[in-house]
């Protein structure tokens, strides 16, 4: 039997995502009530600009006092889609104190203070759900922390930022330069006026921290994630990738060490074989590839951003939290029992593609090979092209640690026959 008294929802933020959440709550009200077992009522909407017309939202629900809204005492669920660290952090913890569960899409806050937020939710017996914080509409958080809870996850690797994937896909498919592709992404609305958070990898790094924490039952903060942006990726890099049967993606990679004693989390551009499922992810789409002991290889794919897709994830969490509310239970909280250390980037082992500008004369290749050997880095393939006294030397290594590769490159720069290091890129996904 359906409960007639509605569950009350406070919405913090009414931008692209928040307005879609409100719209779906209104247009699908009957379906949501049937799925939950009780009606849900939008009890208040906190915004910064109350004078703005918001279609489908009763102006009487709109307030600029978010604190008063979450302190009402009759709110069952707070949906936070304002983003940023403050006031979101204080509003969420206040919601817990006043008896409300929280659904959030705030990746930056969760990556920085997820442990404290989980602790506050647990203290007050409330839920904290955040499917929408990573990869938009793609069901990912719940499968990792529930469906795969009985498995051992070894690696999570994915494209978790649609803007960067759109730019790199354009560079790959059309031969455009980085700035040209970025300008197109901006014109189409895929990139913000200030794209720094996306193209420098900050957005993906926050998502990597969240994914690593869930996958490895270990607290991983944003500061633990190694990050490189993609502004230095060139058309020449794509040409080199194609020569190897690869493309280039900005990847978030979270992995457990071979001995199981530590984990790493990193975001950087990487060459990936065209045979890998992630290589075929085009445009602004996201995809995450999961490798585990029992399940083997799984891939989650779909739209990773946008109002409606992200709102879909928010509403999925809202339904789950409301169901818990009716049954007097709470869902899974933080699982950090493993408490594995996070290793520095220097310990990460992978393959590398290095392009060198060298003098076109006898003995250069031997000198370069000697430097690699002295630093314990094994060479897989070498390709050399030369003309008019100048040459390019492309070296692809076997797997080596980041620290050993760094030492190798420093030594190469000291060789008189090496004019410069044109590019260094990791090779992943094999």
Residue 386 near residue 419, CB atoms below 8 Å: no
Closest residue by Cα to residue 342 from 212, 250, 214: 212
Q: Are 103 and 77 in contact (CB under 8 A)?
A: yes
What is the enclosing helix (H) or strand (E) of 120? Answer: helix 107-123
φ/ψ region of 8 (left if φ > 0, alpha if ψ in -120 to 50, else beta) reads beta
Range 234-237, long-range pairs (CB < 8 A, 24+ positions): 234/177, 234/178, 234/423, 235/171, 235/175, 235/176, 235/177, 236/355, 236/422, 236/423, 237/423, 237/425
Strand partners for 379:
397
- Sign of dihedral through CA atoms 132, 138, 140, 146? positive
Q: What tokens does 170 get?
A: 């354009």
Strand partners, 169: none
Q: In sequence order, what are the beta bridge partners of 382?
A: 395
Cα-based angle 410, 266, 251 (whole degrees, multiple of 5): 105
Is the distance from CB of 358 to CB of 423 less than 8 angstroms? no
* Cβ atoms of 365 and 385 closer than 8 Å: no
Strand partners, 391: 358, 386
Distance CA 323, CA 32 (A): 11
Place of tokens 């929408």: 132
Work out the angle at residue 261's Cα, subtended by the Cα atoms of residues 259 and 265, and round it to the nearest 5 degrees: 100
Six-digit token string for 197:
């958070």
Tokens representing residue 188 in the block: 């189409």
The first and second tokens of residue 5, run together, are 């008294």
**Which residues participate in catalysis according to the annotation?**
207
- Give the DSSP H/E element, type plus range, for residue 383: strand 379-387
Q: Can you tell me whether residue 369 is helix, strand or coil?
A: helix
Nearest to 322 by CA among 28, 24, 37: 37
């Amino acid at each position: 039997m359906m409960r007639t008294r509605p569950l009350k929802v406070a919405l913090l933020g009414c931008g692209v995502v928040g307005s879609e959440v409100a719209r779906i709550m209104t247009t699908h009200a009957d379906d949501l009530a049937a799925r939950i077992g009780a009606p849900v009522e939008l009890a208040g909407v906190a915004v910064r600009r109350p004078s703005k017309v918001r279609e489908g939202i009763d102006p009487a629900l709109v307030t600029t006092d978010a604190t008063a809204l979450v302190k009402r005492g009759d709110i069952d669920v707070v949906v936070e889609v304002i983003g940023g660290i403050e006031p979101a952090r204080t509003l969420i913890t206040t919601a817990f104190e006043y008896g409300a569960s929280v659904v959030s899409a705030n990746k930056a806050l969760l990556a920085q203070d997820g442990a404290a937020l989980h602790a506050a939710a647990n203290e007050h017996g409330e839920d904290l759900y955040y499917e929408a914080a990573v990869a938009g509409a793609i069901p990912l958080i719940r499968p990792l922390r529930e469906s795969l809870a009985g498995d051992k996850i070894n690696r999570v690797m994915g494209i978790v930022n649609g803007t960067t994937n759109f730019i790199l896909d354009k560079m790959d498919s059309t031969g455009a330069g980085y700035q040209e592709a970025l300008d197109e992404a901006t014109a189409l609305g895929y990139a913000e006026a200030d794209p720094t958070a996306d193209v420098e990898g900050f957005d993906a790094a926050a998502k990597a921290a969240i994914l690593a924490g869930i996958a490895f039952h270990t607290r991983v903060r944003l500061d633990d994630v190694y990050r490189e942006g993609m502004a230095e990726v060139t058309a020449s890099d794509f040409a080199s990738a194609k020569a190897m049967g690869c493309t280039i993606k900005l990847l978030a990679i979270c992995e457990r060490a071979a001995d199981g004693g530590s984990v790493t989390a990193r975001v950087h551009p990487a060459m990936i074989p065209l045979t890998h499922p992630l290589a075929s992810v085009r445009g602004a789409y996201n995809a995450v590839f999961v490798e585990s002991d029992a399940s083997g290889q799984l891939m989650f794919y779909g739209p990773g951003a946008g109002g409606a897709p992200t709102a879909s994830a928010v509403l999925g969490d809202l339904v789950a939290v409301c169901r818990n509310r009716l049954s007097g239970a709470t869902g899974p909280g933080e699982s950090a029992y493993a408490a594995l250390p996070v290793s520095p980037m220097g310990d990460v082992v992978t393959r590398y593609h290095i392009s060198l500008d060298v003098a076109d004369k006898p003995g250069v290749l031997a000198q370069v090979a000697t430097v690699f050997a002295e630093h314990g880095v094994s060479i897989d393939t070498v390709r050399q092209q030369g003309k008019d006294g100048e040459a390019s030397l492309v070296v692809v290594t076997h797997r080596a640690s980041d620290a050993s590769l760094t030492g190798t490159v420093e030594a190469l720069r000291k060789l008189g026959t090496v004019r410069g290091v044109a590019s260094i890129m990791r090779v992943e996904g094999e």
